[in-house]
């Protein structure tokens, strides 16, 4: 059967350039804006993906003027952009920079924002299209949404769009997530809400879809007949110094499992979507998340820990309780592991282990499908002593790529079988470097392309999975301590060992 070459009349290999618009960043003085958002805007401009009619508007309390704001963006771009700095690109881009000073409860500041955006429509030709990026704590979402509504900035029409971009955490639990979604949806309908989960903007995460659905090789073994279990790991070596304000009371499960790891789980476990239209993709992810079930009892199938002092490489580091800003009796977990199953024909009985932690041995995010052992080995046992289980490992970062582990004969006159790796590495296979996740996601917001943004239902279903675990933990005292630089608490190893399995040491 010939395939339809262009389903929607567009060659998807070609990049799309955003149409005229302005991007307003609330929380422009924050860390995320400086490290990721402003550099990503510059990188997009440098790649020619922003239109001449583009404006970047900062909104914050600081007593800055437009020039001060320009300097701040300049410093952020010089320090953190991915692509080379080009004076001509910068000149053109910075002509569209504006700053509005004010607090979120200040009506006059929002009126000022409105008139600034109206002026930009005429001066820069931004055409009344505005994206509002809320890089601010969720507790401030209601007041900002209300102000955008009061000042008429939420008013869209057929010829001009208004979109809101929100950053996690999307709530603290299911109940608060429902409430947050209600508040945001009162002002912005669901198709104008873009929830950022930056993992979905990563090339290697999008490659999961290519690996699974562009190849014939993997699908036949992508199920409970062949897969013993799946390990999804997001390990970080950094500590939490400087992040107490956000992290204390939140913890690893809410920070990472509820969003990034659940999304990875959904992409690994979902069925093939009818097409890559956003609705079809979301429908498949929602089906998986609806079928996820915690393996019980929680006490044996989850683990949580908090890092104590230790060594990170050659550096001696303090434990969480000594980090600036954390309360001395904080019970916030910095390590979390949970085991779930997906109740579907494809996955029945296959455990999915999700773990994340700070101050672990290495920074690595990977997904490993660990296969069952061959049902029969026609070798003496000594020949296969060194043979592990076959594994397909998707390396999300760093050293992005895919590894297939299988047994191979060790050269020599005897017969000994040992594990070897077959490796695909992005660095070697492609000359193109990968865009930063935020470049892709900001561009998609401006294009109105929602595929890579979780919808309401996905967020709520993820909380539904996590809430019972969090409730159980809240009742069970302090997390176990683990030494910085290690691989988490002993309870995490015990959780795996009980089933005769063990965590990978990436
Ligand atoms: C964020 C978490 O979402 O992801 C952080 O809030 C974490 O705690 C970060 O450090 C990791 O992102 P990346 O892209 O470096 O893996």
Backbone angles phi, psi at 288, to 5 degrees: -65, -50
Distance in Å, CA 18 to ligand 1 centroid:
27
Q: How high is the pLDDT of residue 4?
A: 63
Residue closest via CA to ligand 1's atom 13 equals 199
239: CB partners within 8 A, 6+ apart = 307, 312, 317, 318, 320, 323, 358, 359, 484
Tens of pLDDT, residue by residue over 165-209, are: 999 889 999 999 999 999 999 999 999 999 999 999 999 999 999
Work out which ligand 1 atom sits closest to the CA atom of 260: 3
Same fold, 22-167 and 200-497: no
User: For residue 14, what are the CA distances in angstroms to 343, 442, 497?
Assistant: 39, 17, 49
DSSP 133: E
Probe ligand 1: pick from 198, 238, 435, max atoms within 8 Å of CB? Answer: 198
Lowest pLDDT segment from 113-117, 184-188, 242-246: 242-246
Report whether pLDDT(422) > 70.
yes
| DSSP notation for 322-361 | GSTTS-TT----SEEEEEEEE-STTTTT--EEEEEESSBS
Work out which ligand 1 atom sits closest to the CA atom of 238: 10
Q: How high is the pLDDT of residue 6?
A: 63
Q: How high is the pLDDT of residue 169?
A: 86
Work out which ligand 1 atom sits closest to the CA atom of 255: 6
Q: Whose structure tokens read 């996601």?
A: 441
What percent of the chain lies above the pLDDT cut of 70? Answer: 98
Does 22-167 carry CATH code 3.40.640.10? no
* CA dihedral for 262, 268, 272, 274, sign (positive or negative): positive
Is 444 touching ligand 1 by the criterion CB < 6 Å?
A: no
DSSP 284: H
Is 236 touching ligand 1 by the criterion CB < 6 Å?
A: yes
Alpha carbon distance 479, 261 (integer Å): 20
Confidence of residue 221 (pLDDT cuts 50, 70, 90): very high
Alpha carbon distance 394, 412 (integer Å): 32
Confidence of residue 380 (pLDDT cuts 50, 70, 90): confident
Q: How high is the pLDDT of residue 384?
A: 86
Probe ligand 1: pick from 37, 135, 236, 258, max atoms within 8 Å of CB? Answer: 236
Alpha carbon distance 16, 12 (integer Å): 9
Pick the closest to residue 30 from 184, 243, 193, 216 (CA basis): 243
DSSP 185: H
What percent of the chain lies above the pLDDT cut of 90? Answer: 89
Work out which ligand 1 atom sits closest to the CA atom of 247: 8
CB atoms within 10 A of CB 452: 23
Cα 441–chain centre separation: 11
| DSSP notation for 378-438 | -S-GGGGTT----EEEEEEESS-EEEEEEEEEPSSSS--EEEEEEEEEHHHH-SSPPPPHH
- Whether 260 is a known active-site residue: answer yes
Q: Given 3-state DSSP classes, what are the helix, strand and coil percentages for the chain, each rounded to the nearest 5?
A: 40, 25, 40
Domain boundaries, the chain: 22-167, 200-497
Q: What is the mean pLDDT of the chain?
A: 95
Lowest pLDDT segment from 227-231, 306-310, 404-408, 433-437: 433-437
DSSP 302: E
Q: How high is the pLDDT of residue 433?
A: 86
Distance in Å, CA 251 to ligand 1 centroid:
12
Tens of pLDDT, residue by residue over 86-103, are: 999 999 999 999 999 999
Report whether pLDDT(409) > 80.
yes
Tens of pLDDT, residue by residue over 320-333, are: 999 999 999 999 99
Fold of 200-497: Dihydrodipicolinate Reductase; domain 2 (3.30.360)
Distance in Å, CA 396 to ligand 1 centroid:
13
Q: How high is the pLDDT of residue 383?
A: 87
Distance in Å, CA 331 to ligand 1 centroid:
20
Alpha carbon distance 240, 46 (integer Å): 33
Query: What would the two tokens of residue 145 be?
Result: 């949404």
Q: How high is the pLDDT of residue 1?
A: 54
From the candidates 229, 260, 298, 376, which is the catalytic residue?
260
Is 255 touching ligand 1 by the criterion CB < 6 Å?
A: yes
337: CB partners within 8 A, 6+ apart = 302, 303, 304, 353, 354, 355, 356, 488, 492, 495
Radius of gyration of the CA atoms of the chain, in A: 24
Q: How high is the pLDDT of residue 50?
A: 97
Distance in Å, CA 286 to ligand 1 centroid:
23
Q: How many helices (H) and strands (E) does the chain have?
A: 17, 17
Alpha carbon distance 367, 208 (integer Å): 10
Is 154 touching ligand 1 by the criterion CB < 6 Å?
A: no
Is 400 touching ligand 1 by the criterion CB < 6 Å?
A: no
Residue 253: burial class (beta carbons within 10 Å; 0-12, 13-18, 19+): buried
Lowest pLDDT segment from 45-59, 214-228, 368-382: 368-382
Query: What would the two tokens of residue 489 be?
Result: 């608490």
Residue closest via CA to ligand 1's atom 9 equals 256
Confidence of residue 9 (pLDDT cuts 50, 70, 90): low
Q: Is 205 helix (H, G, I), strand (E, B) or coil?
A: helix
Work out which ligand 1 atom sits closest to the CA atom of 202: 14
User: For residue 217, what are the CA distances in angstroms to 212, 222, 344?
Assistant: 9, 10, 22
Distance in Å, CA 297 to ligand 1 centroid:
29
Tell me the CB-side half-sphere exposure of residue 490, using CA atoms within 13 A.
1
Alpha helix (H) residue ranges in 20-173: 31-32, 38-46, 66-80, 87-94, 107-123, 141-150
Pick the closest to residue 396 from 277, 268, 307 (CA basis): 268
Alpha carbon distance 393, 360 (integer Å): 19
pTM value is 0.95
Distance in Å, CA 168 to ligand 1 centroid:
11
Q: Averaged over 150-176, what is the pLDDT?
A: 94
Q: How high is the pLDDT of residue 385?
A: 87
Alpha carbon distance 471, 483 (integer Å): 25
């Amino acid at each position: 059967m010939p395939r339809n070459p262009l389903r929607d009349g567009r060659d998807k290999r070609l990049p799309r350039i955003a149409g005229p618009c302005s991007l307003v960043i609330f929380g422009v003085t924050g860390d995320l804006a400086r490290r990721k958002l402003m550099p990503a805007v510059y990188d997009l401009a440098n790649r020619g993906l922003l239109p001449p009619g583009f404006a970047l508007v900062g909104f914050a309390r600081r007593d800055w003027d437009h020039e001060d704001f320009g300097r701040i963006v300049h410093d952020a771009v010089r320090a953190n952009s991915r692509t080379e700095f080009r004076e001509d690109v910068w000149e053109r881009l910075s002509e569209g920079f504006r700053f509005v000073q004010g607090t979120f409860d200040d009506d006059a500041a929002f009126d000022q924002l409105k008139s600034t955006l109206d002026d930009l429509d005429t001066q820069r030709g931004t055409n009344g299209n505005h994206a509002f990026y809320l890089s601010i704590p969720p507790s401030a979402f209601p007041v900002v949404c209300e102000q955008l509504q009061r000042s008429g900035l939420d008013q869209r029409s057929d010829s001009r769009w208004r979109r809101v971009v929100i950053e996690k955490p999307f709530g603290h639990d299911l109940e608060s997530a429902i409430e947050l979604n209600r508040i945001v949806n009162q002002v912005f309908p669901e198709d104008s809400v873009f929830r950022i989960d930056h993992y979905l903007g990563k090339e290697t995460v999008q490659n999961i879809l290519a690996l699974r659905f562009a190849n014939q090789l993997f699908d036949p073994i992508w199920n409970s007949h062949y897969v013993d279990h799946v390990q999804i790991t997001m390990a970080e070596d950094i500590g939490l110094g400087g992040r107490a304000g956000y992290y204390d009371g939140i913890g690893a499960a809410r920070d990472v499992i509820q969003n990034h790891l659940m999304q990875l789980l959904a992409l690994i476990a979902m069925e093939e979507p009818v097409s890559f239209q956003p609705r079809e993709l979301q429908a498949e992810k929602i089906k998986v998340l609806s079928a996820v079930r915690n393996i019980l009892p929680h006490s044996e199938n989850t683990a949580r820990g908090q890092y104590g002092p230790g060594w990170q490489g050659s550096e001696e580091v303090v434990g969480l309780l000594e980090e600036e800003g954390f309360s001395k009796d904080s019970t916030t977990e910095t390590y979390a592991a949970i085991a779930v199953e997906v109740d579907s024909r494809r996955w029945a009985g296959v455990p999915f282990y999700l773990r994340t932690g700070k101050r672990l041995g290495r920074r690595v995010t990977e997904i490993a499908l660990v296969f069952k052992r061959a049902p029969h080995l026609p070798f003496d046992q000594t020949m296969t002593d060194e043979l592990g289980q076959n594994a397909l490992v998707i390396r999300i970062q760093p050293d992005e790529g895919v590894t297939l582990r299988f047994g191979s004969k060790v050269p020599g006159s005897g017969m000994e079988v040992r594990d070897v790796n077959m490796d695909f590495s992005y660095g070697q296979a492609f000359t193109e470097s990968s865009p930063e996740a935020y470049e892709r996601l900001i561009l998609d917001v401006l294009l109105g392309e929602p595929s890579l943004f979780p919808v309401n239902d996905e967020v709520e279903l993820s909380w539904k999975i996590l809430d019972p675990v969090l409730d159980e933990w809240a009742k069970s005292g302090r997390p176990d301590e683990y030494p910085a630089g290690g691989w988490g608490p002993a309870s995490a190893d015990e959780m795996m060992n009980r089933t005769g399995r063990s965590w990978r040491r990436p």
